[in-house]
Amino acid sequence: MHGTLCDFLSDIVQNSIEADAKRIVVTIAERKDTMAFSVQDDGKGMTGEVLRKAQDPFYTDGVKHKRRKVGLGIPFLIQTVESVGGSFSLSSTPGCGTRLEFSFNLGHIDCPPLGNLPATLMGVFGYPGDQEVVVQRTLETSAGGDSYQVSKTEMLEVLGDLSQSGSLNLLREYLQSQETALDELRNHA
Amino acid sequence: MAKMTLEELRKLRDTKKVEIQKRDISGKDSQIIIGMGTCGIAAGAKVVLDAFLKELDTHHIENVSVTQTGCMGLCYVEPTVEVLSPGMPPVIYGKVDANVARLIIEEHIMHSRMVSEHVFDRPSTDIIKDGGK
């Protein structure tokens, strides 16, 4: 079971990468007591039948692990969303891509903590492969709103190879500074 | 605190580059690969990824490649980490936490000594072609 909301995001983005996506757009929208995520990819997509089965913990496509009979990523997410009064939707078109949206009610007593968002996004950008990843983060509070957007392309251009420890540490520092600005706004609201 | 701009990030990168050139970094071109499947994430692989990077930063090591992969098939000993280091056999470590990550950097990466109690020698047979040997 995943311990933080960020763990679900990492897991879902990894699904997009394994579905051969070339472009993944992640949105993270925080508003009052709600944290809403969406992950949209242009990967291989799923048929209606597979889409339905992907929500069953005792289903896996069998490609990677021939003898295994479980696939827990999406079922873990659905379980948590249902237990905290959040929302979940999954739509997909074979050959075009998949869109997954999920939100959590932060005020619910069973809602897991957010986790380390800068470190999570560092992992999302640092995942090997030539896929573009765009993250759009927004925060709305009673004292106003703030947002930032980061793309893997611009990070590659500024930092170079995103597999090197030095680059990744700088990337986290950059993402941390974006989140710190949002934290300050939240604390003043 | 204002958000860091891309220009500021670029300057920081250039400063680091100069620092790296000043140091003797030979023999440290290692590769650390962290299993980041559902199993790995649930067992704390992201904390481990972060711990590796912070430890490398503490020792001012900038040129170790730290990458992620999906499930390596060793779900029962997650988080799993493969370490490829010059002059050392490829090793898969299991049950890695932040403390073991620190040991791997200090022992395996910096002093070419394996952290024996956490070694698992290869991926499980069900993800090796034809089940391996």
Domains of chain B plus CATH, in order, are 28-121 (3.40.30.10)
Nearest to A181 among B2, B20, B67 (CB): B2
Is pLDDT above 50 for A176?
Answer: yes
Q: In the predicted model, what is the mean pLDDT of chain A? A: 90
Q: Which of B60, B54, B51, B52 is nearest to B28 (CA)?
A: B60
- Residue A80, CA distances (Å) to A42, A49, A63, A114, A186 in order: 26, 23, 27, 13, 25
> What does the pLDDT look like over A48-98, one tens digit per residue?
887 787 777 777 776 666 666 667 778 889 999 999 999 999 999 999 999
Is pLDDT above 60 for B28?
Answer: no
* Cβ-defined contact of B36 to A123 (cutoff 8 Å): yes
Does 3.30.565 match the CATH number of domain A5-187? yes
Contacts with B1 from chain A: Cβ below 8 Å: 177, 180-181, 184
Residues 6+ apart with CB under 8 A from B86: B27, B29, B30
Size of interface A-B (CB pairs under 8 A): 115
Is the bond preceding residue A57 a cis peptide, omega within 30 degrees? no
Q: What is the ipTM of this complex?
A: 0.80
pLDDT value of position B132: 47
Is pLDDT above 60 for B23?
Answer: no
Q: In the predicted model, what is the mean pLDDT of chain B? A: 84
Lowest mean pLDDT, pick from A60-64, A122-126, B124-128: B124-128
Higher-confidence position of B69 and B25: B69
pLDDT value of position A62: 65
* Cβ-defined contact of A168 to B53 (cutoff 8 Å): yes
Contacts with B39 from chain A: Cβ below 8 Å: 72
Tell me what the mean pLDDT of segment B34-60 comes to.
Answer: 91
pLDDT value of position B117: 83
Minimal C-alpha gap between B119 and chain A (Å)? 22
Helix and strand numbers, DSSP H then E, in chain A: 6, 6
* Cβ-defined contact of B50 to A66 (cutoff 8 Å): no
Q: Report residue A67 as tokens.
A: 């003898």
pLDDT value of position B128: 57
Residue B93 region by backbone torsions, left for phi larger than 0, else alpha for psi between -120 and 50, else beta: beta
Give residue B120's identity as a one-letter amino acid code: F
Minimal C-alpha gap between B67 and chain A (Å)? 6
Choose the most confident range, by mean pLDDT, from A134-138, A184-188, B12-16, B113-117: A134-138
Q: What percent of chain B has pLDDT over 90?
A: 46
Q: What is the reported pTM? A: 0.85
pLDDT value of position A52: 80
Minimal C-alpha gap between A114 and chain B (Å)? 13
Give the residue extent of every domain in chain A.
Answer: 5-187
Q: Which of B94, B87, B103 is nearest to B122 (CA)?
A: B94
- Using DSSP's 3-state secondary structure scheme, residue A105 falls into strand
Contacts with A73 from chain B: Cβ below 8 Å: 38
pLDDT value of position B133: 42
pLDDT value of position B131: 52
Q: Which pairs from B22-28 meet CB under 8 Å and 24+ separation?
A: B23/B60, B25/B61, B25/B62, B25/B63, B27/B86, B27/B87, B28/B61, B28/B63, B28/B64, B28/B109, B28/B110
pLDDT value of position B126: 66
pLDDT value of position B124: 63
In chain B, whose CA is at the least distance from the CA of A126? B67
In chain B, whose CA is at the least distance from the CA of A120? B46
Q: In whole angstroms, what is the distance from residue A177 CA to residue B120 CA?
A: 38
Length of chain A: 189
Q: Which of B68, B63, B89 is nearest to B80 (CA)?
A: B68
CA quadruple A8, A10, A11, A12: dihedral positive or negative? positive
- Candidates A151, A168, A171, A173: best to mutate against B (most CBs of B within 10 A) is A168
Higher-confidence position of A155 and A45: A155
Nearest to A64 among B3, B63, B127 (CB): B127
User: A14 and A2 in contact (C-beta within 8 Å)?
Assistant: no
